[in-house]
Structure 1
Amino acid sequence: MPEQEINVPLVPAHWTFPAHPSSVGRARKALGEVLPEPCSARFAEELTLIASELVTNALRHGARGKVEEVVELIAWPADGHYWLAVSDPGDTRPTLLPANPGALGGRGLFLVDALAAAWTVRPRATRGKSVVAGLRLDQGGRG
């Protein structure tokens, strides 16, 4: 049977990383290799910053530094956005807390909230949760 022209959605990119701090850099690098082309430098920076913050939170609060645990990153374009889902085994929902001006950290979710067009937390069927965030493709990504 000859190949037919049909509208098949793109297959999401998917990675699994160990619960280790080096996974943040590995996630950023992996995502950089699948960004839509052409895309602006700003779009790439914002998307990789969102991924970096979500993976960092998943490692700190979801996997809690347990080396035997893993964190997953899924990326895909759909509905005018480029979506990221970061999944971890934890059951604690991330929430925006009041900013502490003297703290050295704790601003990751504020960055995600400021940059993403939308974000949410979804429970996983087996265990844990996924934090899903989307950046509009018309902000400099292909679209």
Structure 2
Amino acid sequence: MPDIPLVPALWRFPAHPASVREARHAVAQALPQDLRRCLADDLGLLTSELVTNAIRHGTSQRDERVELVLWPADGHYWLAVSDPGTATGHRAAREADGESGRGLLLVDRLAAAWAVLPRDLRGTSVVAGLPLRE
């Protein structure tokens, strides 16, 4: 009989800046206790950056939602952050003393792999994976 895989964790948050902290907390709490020490900081940073980008660039109305899915697979913990927008996730040029523009650079540094994927009906998802290391 095959092993039954873990069911991915799923959350939907309002397109509001307060959702960034709530999303980061939800993801940290969803990690197994033995992995929190080694993954919580990096996964929290990924969550913050991707949810912030989704709210800023992927939503246009307050009643829209940002969706998060977290799941383990292939030696990684994967995070998908989805929004109804059509942004492509380009790394924008930034000024050295600017207050923004570093989000996807951080994602690129932290994640073993990441991509922006179109959703079937509407919107995009940014999927990023962190390797399991203890």
TM-score if structure 2 supplies the norm length? 0.94
Cα RMSD for the two superposed structures: 1.3
One-letter identity of the residue aligned with 2:93: P
Name the structure 2 match of 1:96: 91
97, 106, 113: which one pairs with 1:111? 106
Task: Give a deviation string over 1:46-81, Cα, whole Å, max 9, x none.
Answer: 0110011000000000013x1111000000000000
Name the structure 2 match of 1:62: 58
Percent identity between the aligned chains? 55
After TM superposition, give the deviation of residue 40 of structure 1 in Å. Answer: 5.2
After TM superposition, give the deviation of residue 96 of structure 1 in Å. Answer: 1.1
Name the structure 2 match of 1:137: 132
After TM superposition, give the deviation of residue 95 of structure 1 in Å. Answer: 0.9
Runs (4+) of structure 1 exceeding 3 A deviation are: none
Name the structure 1 match of 2:9: 13
After TM superposition, give the deviation of residue 37 of structure 1 in Å. Answer: 3.0
41, 44, 63: which one pairs with 1:45? 41
* Cα distance in 2, alignment partners of residues 10 and 91 from structure 1: 30
Name the structure 2 match of 1:36: 32
After TM superposition, give the deviation of residue 36 of structure 1 in Å. Answer: 2.8
Note the residue ranges of structure 2 that are not aligned, 5 or more in a row.
none
One-letter identity of the residue aligned with 1:71: V
Q: Please, which moves more after superposition, 41-50 or 73-82?
A: 41-50
Note the residue ranges of structure 1 that are not aligned, 5 or more in a row.
none
Q: Secondary structure at the match of 1:72?
A: strand
User: Greater share of helix residues, 1 or 2?
Assistant: 2
Q: How many residues align?
A: 134
Task: Give a deviation string over 1:98-127, Cα, whole Å, max 9, x none.
Answer: 332021111111111100000001110110
